[in-house]
Amino acid sequence: MGLSVVIYKPWDTRQTPETAPDAKLDVRNNRGEMIPIGTFVSVEETFGPQVIQRYNLYPSAQINGSPAPGYSSGQALALMKQMADEKLPTSMGFQWTGMSYQEDQLKNSTQFQDNPMFILLLSVIFVFLVLAVGLAVVGGMIAATCFSLLFVPSFFVVFQSLSEFRKKPESETTSADAH
DSSP code of 144? H
Both 74 and 94 in a single domain? yes
Task: Examine residue 166 and state whether it is found in any structural domain, yes or no.
Answer: yes
Task: Examine residue 74 and state whether it is found in any structural domain, yes or no.
Answer: yes
Task: Examine residue 2 and state whether it is found in any structural domain, yes or no.
Answer: no
Both 120 and 172 in a single domain? yes
Give the model's confidence band at 118: pLDDT under 50 very low, under 70 low, under 90 confident, else very high: confident
Both 89 and 103 in a single domain? yes
In the predicted model, what is the mean pLDDT of residues 87-95?
Answer: 89
Q: Return the closest-CA partner of residue 56 out of 106, 109, 23, 96.
A: 96
Q: Is the pLDDT at 136 greater than 80, yes or no?
A: yes
Distances (CA, A) of 125 to 64, 93, 117, 119, 131: 36, 42, 12, 10, 10
Both 21 and 35 in a single domain? yes
Tens digits of per-residue pLDDT, 9-32? Answer: 666 665 565 565 555 678 888 898
The residue segments making up the domain with residue 38 are 9-47
Find the helix or strand (DSSP H, E) in which 173 lies: helix 116-178
Distances (CA, A) of 32 to 19, 26, 27, 157: 25, 12, 9, 116
Residue 71: what pLDDT? 93
Percent of the chain with pLDDT over 90: 10
Q: Is the pLDDT at 1 greater than 50, yes or no?
A: no
In the predicted model, what is the mean pLDDT of residues 49-70?
Answer: 86
Task: Examine residue 3 and state whether it is found in any structural domain, yes or no.
Answer: no
Task: Examine residue 52 and state whether it is found in any structural domain, yes or no.
Answer: no
In the predicted model, what is the mean pLDDT of residues 130-141?
Answer: 84
Lowest mean per-residue pLDDT among 11-20, 101-110, 118-127, 162-171: 11-20
Residue 70: what pLDDT? 94
DSSP code of 32? S
CA distance 147 to 155: 11
Q: Is the pLDDT at 109 greater than 60, yes or no?
A: yes
